[in-house]
Amino acid sequence: MRQLACDIPGREGQSVELCGWVHRIRNLGGITFVLLRDRSGMVQLVYDEEPSFGQEAVLRVRGTVGASEKAPGGYEIRAESTEVLGAPQAELPLPVNKELDQVGLEAILDHRIVSLRNPRIRRIFEVQSDLLASFSEALRKRGFTEIKSSKLIGSGTEGGTGLFPVDYFGETLCLAQSPQFYKQAMVASGLERVFEIGAAYRAEKHDTARHLNEYVSLDVEMAFIDSDSDLMDLETEILGEMFQSLEERQGKTLEDYGARVPRAEEFQETPRVTYDEARQILKDRTGKSVFEITPEGERELCLWALDEKGVEAVFVTAFPRKKRPFYTSPEGMKTRSFDLLFRGLEITTGGQRIHQYQELLEALPRFGLTEEGLGDYCSVFRYGCPPHGGFAIGLERLTQKILGLQNVKEASLFPRDRKRFRP
């Protein structure tokens, strides 16, 4: 039965079988040490002669475990039989067994198939996997049902811009900017609480370290809320539990990245300021008039939150109506909506939705929209819908900020931006 590298400590004298990739080879005067890598870590193999395989060869190895102070984990395996399951047919385009500090991001992404073999890069997506698991766990225990909606839509609920057209048997459809319509439909169906993890698409011509044209959105929608405060309460609880879970499951990776996550109780203290209050804070701190909150402003607001509350996050609420989608519940000239800024970057947008049919119809002309142009969207409310709201967290941005990555593309397995559509 195959063992993993993490299973080897404590098996001194036992015969074991392992499979993995050749991470590094060191020949020391007749004895060769091979570092074998599998999904759980590294283990050292010992050969009495120089083996014929090279770096990144895929092996099946049988041998006996022995103690060794110099080996990873304090144990090594004296190889007795080795089978090469897969031999590299070309030279590696970039290093797999060392830091990639001297390799540019474009090269790393151009050779993504190989760069993902680098343990430090691969751990980014192990962290991401745990974020997804804890997000789902936190919502399921609160009575939420996971849904999966279509990414092909006839019209956009976020408005008509920023959509990717798709030829669908001669008809022009679009890639979904979000599952907004479907989330609200399922809330109105009687499920009341739903969430979805899925791809979202924005045809925006950005080329920055914070934007992707395809990203993973963690969407939440909940019925019978009183205001957007209920949603902010929920998000601080969920993220707090996600951070705690990450610390428990991925503590070593956080340590390797020099990263820390807020404690759950710490995150509960995330301050909430209105859009106008945020602008005043920025004016007070910078001495400059602020007409809108820019990326630099987001960073400054998070520094303010750290100074005031000891947490690198802040909710900005009560956005002007013109800065929010048509379906956002208004409150005078403001809206019951919010952004969550974390470590200088917006990672969440959310708010309460309009749930009354007539109110929705009255809102459409303000945004240059019609009931006919929105297709089936308005039917969610025509037959009765409870007060509700929701939010969406960008997975890649959250990952980026947790690990301190310089570019959001580092947190995407196969990023898509204006210029990149491969591999």
| Residue ranges of the binding site for ATP | 202-204, 210-212, 346, 394-397
- The rounded distance, in Å, linking the Cα atoms of 85 and 87 is 7
Annotated binding site for L-aspartate: 158, 202, 349, 353
Q: Token pair for residue 71?
A: 């080996």
Annotated binding site: 158, 202-204, 210-212, 346, 349, 353, 394-397
Secondary structure class of 11 (helix, strand, coil): coil
**Residue at token pair 């169906």:** 189
Buried-exposed string 300-326: b where 16+ CB fall within 10 A, e elsewhere: bbbebbeeeeebbbbbbbbbebeebbb
Determine how β-strand 75-86 pairs with β-strand 388-394. Answer: unpaired
- The rounded distance, in Å, linking the Cα atoms of 372 and 349 is 27
- The rounded distance, in Å, linking the Cα atoms of 57 and 24 is 10
| Sign of the Cα pseudo-torsion (151, 154, 156, 161, in order) | positive
3-state helix/strand/coil string of 186-224: HHHHHHCEEEEEEEEECCCCCCCCCCCCEEEEEEEEEEC
H helix and E strand count, the chain: 12, 19
- Beta carbons within 8 Å of 393's beta carbon, 6+ residues apart: 135, 217, 218, 235, 239, 340, 347, 348
Residue 179: name the closest of 143, 221, 132 by CA.
221
- The rounded distance, in Å, linking the Cα atoms of 189 and 330 is 24
- The rounded distance, in Å, linking the Cα atoms of 18 and 39 is 11
Cβ distance 53 to 31 under 8 Å? Answer: no
Q: Token pair for residue 259?
A: 């990263």
Cβ distance 295 to 210 under 8 Å? Answer: yes
- The rounded distance, in Å, linking the Cα atoms of 154 and 169 is 13
